[in-house]
Amino acid sequence: MASLPVTLMPDPIAPDAAHSLFAVPDMHCAGCIAKVERGLTALPGIHAARVNYSARRVAITHDPAMTLPDLRAAIAGIGFAAEPLADPTIAVENAQDKRLLRALAVAGFASMNIMLLSVSIWSGAVGATRELFHWLSALIALPTVAYAGQPFFRSAFAALRVGRTNMDVPISIGVLLATGMSLYETITGGNHAWFDGAVMLLTFLLAGRCLDAMMRGRARDGVAALLRQTAPGAYVIEAGQRRWVEARALVPGMMMQVAAGERFAADGEIREGKSSVDLAFLTGESRPVAVGVGDGVHAGALNMDGPLNVVVRAAGADTLIADIARMMDAAGQGKSRYVRIADRAARLYAPAVHLLAALSFAGWMIAGAGVHQALLIATAVLLITCPCALGLAVPAAQVVACGALMRRGILVKDGSALERLAEADRAMFDKTGTLTLGRPMPENLDALPADVRPVVLALARASRHPLSAALAEALQREGVMAATLSDLREEAGVGVSALWQGRPVSLARPANAGNWTSLATEYREGDRHILLTFADMLRPDAAATAAALRTLGLDPIIASGDRPQALHEVAMATGMLATGHMSPQAKLAMIERLKAQGHRVLMVGDGLNDGPALAAGHVSLAPSSASDASQLAADVVFLGDSLSSVAVAVRAARRTLAIVRQNFMLAVGYNLLAVPLAIAGLVTPLVAALAMSGSSLIVIANALRLRRAAR
């Protein structure tokens, strides 16, 4: 069974730099994202900083001389507490989410009780009764604001302490102003108090934050479910002794003993035993794959039939499943054009809001309104203008879409790739390994009689030649069990031979073949010679994928280094125009010509020679069987043998871009409507809280429609 390498892209800005990952739990909006990224990249020694909003993490590329304490202090200098993470695949319990939930429970309970008292006041209570109800409201509201407001107060104080502002500064000012004004009115025997508005404001703000946290948690569910596929550990054989070792303590070279019905805790190579493994979580293939000595297995795969002894090749963060998790983690926050728009809006938010509130206060004072009314209007302006909806417009859609695609076996490295994929209007395919499976498949397996199939399987499994591996895999899929051979020998360039029941047998190059690399091999047993031929089969759904891309407006073409004669059959089967004898430079030149004509090229390739074209394309995809270089250059990697993932990804990307645009329209429309109303004095703090939280919830709910985008 072939391995499925998935390699993450190194940082192109500073290939020799160090990389560190920090958990920053207090980030909750586009303004926080922009502050962390801008603040870090402005520091000497830091080359790049990329925030993953859904995971509340920041990945930093920096000089090797910078230590973790240095980076932690740098993040603290921006106003955020941070903790280093050794591995992005390790789940970090976010205590902030639990604090938000507790604060929401307190605020919700208090707001209901204060509202009951407020109803009595609104119903006409006067005199001592009104004062009593105001004092009772104050006794409930003051401790509630002090406790439930901590998520906002702490964030605001941390920003102000380092001379910065964030979205929580005006929120905190608004809550404290409303509470302070209400307490003053209560002490002086005034007719009005706004404790209900202040506490209800916190309730709705916290509800919005909690739902945002739930959305991010749901977006991470796919990766978490993937990581839960791995076994917690394995029994290891050392010096004849058998002991249990946790998965994180496994190291390459250890010998795992995996019983039937257990999952593998690490990637490895089978040294003893034969079985079949379930790879549905990885490839989407529901049929188990037969494996034996020399075959590779992956962490998370289920051993179906018999016990296996497996030598560990990669464990922990180096396994394939961990690579996939890191790729999904990196896809959560992409720097698309729309993200940059939201970043700029968040950067201007704090000064603009403070200025609007100050002007509103001054304007109403000049117009003759009292201090209380002017402060109330300024408070409403502070609260209603929070651009949380704008900050969530892009990351919410990207995270949900990437999660939906991941569940289909399509791994997006960068959320911005979805935007570029949606813009593509031309599709260019390599042939070998892309439109075809890139591995030889027996064409005439029926030529092998049933009595010699076990012998051929044993011979094929003893050789590492690609044709032997393909033959062994095909026979194992047929349920053939290998015969017992003796005196096995392999001669380079000739083949493999052995004795079976005292008779010489061999699997070798055909007598009329020029060399061992011909797509044919021959079984010999005495005077019996059986010629087996192989072909590189077309991927399933290749023709259907080409038709689907045409329907989507992408005209697909084939650009291959193969001979034109070899391309003819594939071109006829898929209906694509094909060009052969193309060098890497020629493919690159073709993409540049299409770019000059105004086209945006989707490049799909797998070989080393496709690396430059994958990097030059407007967006690029590669199968998981591609070379490391191609996977490094590609924006999206798809698992399995089906090529339909290309069309699925394009459709999902276009739907994601439509949702992002809708989110921007919703967020901008809300602000255009709400801000003038607040400045005009037509909005109370309570209504402001409802409006602001409602806009965020609408954007999140709209993004969650993408959960079924990968169809």
Alpha helices (H) along 308-452: 320-331, 337-366, 371-384, 388-407, 416-423
**604 CB burial (10 A radius; 0-12, 13-18, 19+):** buried
Rounded distance, CA 435 to CA 642, Å?
Answer: 9
Question: Facing residues of 51 across strands?
Answer: 58
Name the nearest CA neighbour of 472 among 529, 532, 432: 532
Rounded distance, CA 479 to CA 692, Å?
Answer: 62
507 with 523: CB under 8 angstroms?
A: yes
What distance, in Å, lies between the first and last C-alpha atoms of the chain?
29
Rounded distance, CA 429 to CA 556, Å?
Answer: 7
Cα 377 from chain centroid (whole Å): 42
Token match 């051979």: residue? 485
Rounded distance, CA 398 to CA 421, Å?
Answer: 13
Rounded distance, CA 481 to CA 453, Å?
Answer: 8
Rounded distance, CA 87 to CA 636, Å?
Answer: 22
Helix (H, G, I), strand (E, B) or coil at 34: helix
Phi/psi region, residue 595 (left: phi>0; alpha: psi -120 to 50; beta: rest), is: alpha
Alpha helices (H) along 188-261: 195-227
**680 CB burial (10 A radius; 0-12, 13-18, 19+):** exposed
584 with 597: CB under 8 angstroms?
A: no
HSE-CB for 87 with a 13 A CA cutoff: 15
Token match 């202040």: residue? 198
The pair of structure tokens assigned to 113 is 């009780």
Rounded distance, CA 161 to CA 140, Å?
Answer: 30
483 with 451: CB under 8 angstroms?
A: no
Phi, psi (degrees; rounded to nearest 5) at 558: -110, 130
Helix (H, G, I), strand (E, B) or coil at 291: strand
Name the nearest CA neighbour of 35 among 348, 316, 419: 348
Give the DSSP H/E element, type plus range, for residue 73. Answer: helix 68-78
34 with 347: CB under 8 angstroms?
A: yes
Rounded distance, CA 427 to CA 605, Å?
Answer: 11
452 Cβ contact list (under 8 Å, min separation 6): 523, 525, 530
655 Cβ contact list (under 8 Å, min separation 6): 401, 706, 709
197 with 145: CB under 8 angstroms?
A: no
Q: Which residues have a catalytic role annotated?
A: 430
Rounded distance, CA 707 to CA 218, Å?
Answer: 10
HSE-CB for 608 with a 13 A CA cutoff: 0
Name the nearest CA neighbour of 298 among 324, 274, 328, 330: 324
